[in-house]
Structure 1
């Protein structure tokens, strides 16, 4: 369930009680706020971005931002989820039953990198990466995103064993790569073409998500020193 849906489900009478502010189409208003938020978070980071500045950029009243998204934390969470859904990255992983798992993870890696590098998206995503280790709100947002958008897919849809471990390993590879390429800008990763980089990391992603992790043997080794 999205952040918006969660917010409305916890406040089922909110729209009826307060009424939707006049002069705004619901879909248009939410889309404009998300776009403004993506830019503002990218430019200023999570801590320095404000609801007031986002509302000004979206040409609306700050109350409208609170009306649709509730809080800055929930808005930031929705921005990240929206980025992920926009390119249907989860849909790529669901093709594993129809294609080879290596082809699937190669395409996922390629589309992930292309998505991150899209104008307006890259700034917001890098803002998230920069703050994960130092901001508890951002860390919580990322973990929630990882659980709802990746872990639920591996466990419920793909029905893979050790879904939590697989998701953690899978996410760590992507997060580490993004940090090296976009934040630290270390060569040769920073300047490598997307297609080449995707092919290089795809086998590792495939192993983490679909391969034999041999968890039982590792657990036995740690329990019998």
Structure 2
């Protein structure tokens, strides 16, 4: 059942704002910050470009709002659990990831704010994973684990590598498991 059409001015404004944000997420996700334009976002949202500027003020502000990434549950637990959690997240990373995350990923190499946003999120995950690793070089090991996951995500979501298309996530997780276990300072024997 569809929602009833908005009746108040506030409701119409909120609906238009959400339509613009949804279009902006798609545009930034498909094109990145540099190539996405206010005109393209407006066309996709079926509004005048001036209305986009009225609502958001600038392309930068529109990007900031559109690329707000959803919160990710913290990495915690034993090393074994942490490693398995990273492998479980492969399914999310190879599936349909949130458009805001895709917008940040596509823009992070060309736009300083997107790069900082991605760096902050990844640094947080590295700190969480590093806290569980009992090795002298725990932070390095955690960074390599997270970087491996980032690389797989970029290869699948942004580059659409042929070799990753259609491969079951269980197979990818199984192949990654020994290397992640080694990085986590666990015996690399097969698990799960």
CA distance in 2, matches of 1:56, 1:36: 9
How many Å apart are 1:207 and its aligned residue? 4.7
Q: Confirm or deny: 8 A CA contact 1:106 1:202 kept in the other structure.
A: yes
Q: 2:61 aligns with which of 64, 68, 71?
A: 71
State the aligned residue count: 171
How many Å apart are 1:74 and its aligned residue? 2.2
Q: 1:173 aligns with which of 148, 167, 175?
A: 148
More helix by share: 1
How many Å apart are 1:64 and its aligned residue? 0.8
Aligned-pair Cα RMSD in Å: 4.1
What SS does structure 1 have at the residue aligned with 2:10? coil
Cα displacement string for residues 91-132 of structure 1 (whole angstroms, at most 9, x for unaligned residues): 2623x259733332221222222233x7xx49x72x655655
TM-score (norm 2): 0.61
TM-score (norm 1): 0.54
CA distance in 2, matches of 1:140, 1:166: 26
What residue in structure 2 maps to residue 93 of structure 1?
A: 75
What residue in structure 2 maps to residue 155 of structure 1?
A: 127
Structure 1: gaps spanning 5 or more residues: 1-21, 214-225
Structure 2: gaps spanning 5 or more residues: 1-8, 187-192
What SS does structure 2 have at the residue aligned with 1:141? helix
CA distance in 2, matches of 1:205, 1:28: 44
Aligned residue runs from structure 1 range 73-222, under 5 A: 73-75=63-65, 77-78=67-68, 81-82=69-70, 85=71, 90-91=72-73, 93-94=75-76, 96-97=77-78, 100-116=81-97, 121=99, 125=102, 132-133=108-109, 135=110, 137=111, 140-147=113-120, 149-155=121-127, 159-160=131-132, 165-166=140-141, 168-208=143-183, 211-212=184-185
